[in-house]
Structure 1
Amino acid sequence: MADPKDMYQCQVHNCGYVYDPDKGEPKTNTPPGIMFKDLPYDWKCPFCGSSAKTFRPLAGPESVLVEGS
């Protein structure tokens, strides 16, 4: 499993999908090993269809936990 700072979660209400670079995403034809920052500019959440701009890291300086502090 990837480090939480490398995993990103969709912040759209009622979604919460987590992108794990170690797993990739078959629904979007994203192979394992692709870091979130390296996803194509038009990549969308495989569950709710929102853009990558709605995602936040699970840990680290830009994470939701830090924003809420």
Structure 2
Amino acid sequence: MAVYVCGVCGWEYDEAAGYEEGGIAPGTKWEDLPDDFECPLCGVGKDQFEAK
């Protein structure tokens, strides 16, 4: 499982942990997130994240 980091604010999405506050179950892979997923802290899109 990978971790993706927002290039703007540094928020991290950990595939193993998911993002339960946003309705994303643990184990959800980055590519399986909706295309309109946004960083919960700063609102940028998936294209602003990089694999850690």
- Structure 2, unaligned runs of 5 or more: none
CA gap of 1:49–1:27, structure 2 versus 1, over 3 A, is: farther
Which residues of structure 1 form unaligned runs of 5+? 59-69
**What's the counterpart of residue 16 of structure 2?**
22
Larger Rg: 1
Between Structure 1 and Structure 2, which shows a larger proportion of helix residues?
Answer: 1
Bigger RCO (CA 8 Å, 6+ sep): 2
Equivalenced residues, count: 52
Greater fraction of residues in strand: 2
Q: How does 1:22-61 map to 2 (within 5 A)?
A: 22-58=16-52
